[in-house]
Structures are given as C-alpha cells and as structure tokens.
Amino acid sequence: MTQTNPYPILRELSSLDRKRRELDGAFASEQKRLDFLHKQKSSAENELQEAENEIKRYHVLFSELDQKMNEQKRTLQIIEQRSHSAKSAHEISKLEQEMAHLQKSQAELELKGMQSLEDSENCEAIVAEKKNFLLGVEKSIADINADVKIAQSELQGQILGLENQQQSLIIELSPAFQKTLALTKSKFKGQPFLAFAVGERCDACRFFIDRMSMAELHTGKTPFNCPGCARILVPQD
Ligand SMILES: [Zn+2]
C-alpha cells in the first residue's frame, strides 16, 4: 500500500470546512428572516389582544354608567313629582337640594362617559392599526416562507454533497491521521482545526516548532498537533 500524502487532503478538508461554515451561516440567516417576521407577528398579536380586552372593559364601563344614569333619572323623576305635591317650604328646599345633588352627579357621569368614549376610540384605532399590520406581516411571511424553504433545501443539498466529499477524502487518510482528525475536529467544533507551520512557527498561535519536529512533520508519516494551540500542523507549500 502506498503512503498517501496527507497534507493536500487535510488542506482540502479544511477548505471544505470553511465552505460548510458559510453554508451553515447562509442557512441560519435564511431562518432569521422568517424568525424575525414571526416575532413581529406574535408581538402584534399580543398588542391586538390587549387592545381588544381594553375595548371590552370600556364596554362594561359604558353599560355600568348607563345603568347608573338611568337609575338616577328615575330617582329625579320621583323627586320632581314629590316636589309638586310638597306642602312646606322646608320640604321643597330639601327636595331641591337632593335634585341639585343628583343633577351634579349626572353631569359627572356624563363627563366620565365622554372621556372613556374618547379612550375607547383610541383603542379601536389601535386595533385597526394592528390588524392592518398583521395582514402585512402575514403576507410577507407567506412570500418569504416559500423563498426561504427553497433556499434552505438548496443549501441542505450542498451541505450533504460537501459531507460526502469530506467522507471520501477522510478514508484516503491513514488510520492515525483519521483518528487525529476526528479528535481535533471534535475539539474545535467546526472552527478551523488546521494550522500551517510557517518558518519555525505555528501560524495560528506562533508557537515555536523545533527542527526535529519540523523534519518529522515534513515526512507526513505521523500526525502532529501544535503543542501551543492543538491544531493539526501542516507544512506550508
Ligand atoms: Zn499553534
């Protein structure tokens, strides 16, 4: 069995890893476009719900005010009737006081009703605005969703192809290199696992590599991790 030079394979694997990171990034940013819209949608839905609840509370308040005003109107009518048949000046003055009091209270309730009406109209405007916004977001989601899914499935295809390519490269390496590659890659978790020996130093961490190690490295027989940063060292071309 002829000894394959592991370094071109390792370089190729490293560059495929970089492409993989780019594809992963592109895949994630497609997802972000959708996530952003979904977030907008759900916060608009919450605001809409709040405004609708507020409107419901106003409706309850209006019917309470109405009821109270009607009761007071009836009481006023009764007092009015009684004042017609009142006999003493004292009794009339007492009834007039009661009527004045009730009229004042009616005016206050009316004012409160008017203010609340204004507030509830503001709420209705918010509801209309949120509903409109939601329609827009839902349309964007529908439009973008299709684009994102297509883009993601294309990216997924590229990622699979790339993984196959990596797999077929890895099996060309000697078992020792395969083992070191697996260990080193799992340590660096998708980040660059390769470093170049430039001159007498690791170009990733500037660790000094002595002459003997360098000579050993150039034979390509055994894998060599940088003692400084633990990346797999590859001689520069
Ligand atoms: Zn290093």
CA distance to 45, 63, 110, 146, per residue, from 41 (Å): 6, 33, 39, 17
Domain boundary assignment for the chain: 15-171, 174-237
Supply the pLDDT for residue 1: 46
- CATH (residue range 15-171): 1.10.287.1490
Report the C-alpha gap between 217 and 20 in whole angstroms: 27
Q: How far is the CA of 5 from the centre of ligand 1 (A)?
A: 21
Q: How far is the CA of 195 from the centre of ligand 1 (A)?
A: 6
**Whether the Cβ atoms of residue 10 and residue 17 lie closer than 8 Å to each other:** no
Report the C-alpha gap between 214 and 218 in whole angstroms: 6
**Whether the Cβ atoms of residue 102 and residue 19 lie closer than 8 Å to each other:** no
Q: Which residues surround ligand 1, an ion (CB under 5 A)?
A: 195, 202, 204-205, 207, 226, 228-229
pLDDT in tens, 191-233: 999 999 998 999 999 999 999 999 999 999 999 999 999 999 9
pLDDT in tens, 81-139: 988 888 888 988 999 999 999 999 999 999 999 999 999 999 999 999 999 999 999 99
- Does this model's pTM top 0.75? My answer is no
DSSP code at position 204:
T
Report the C-alpha gap between 170 and 127 in whole angstroms: 60
Report the C-alpha gap between 153 and 26 in whole angstroms: 12
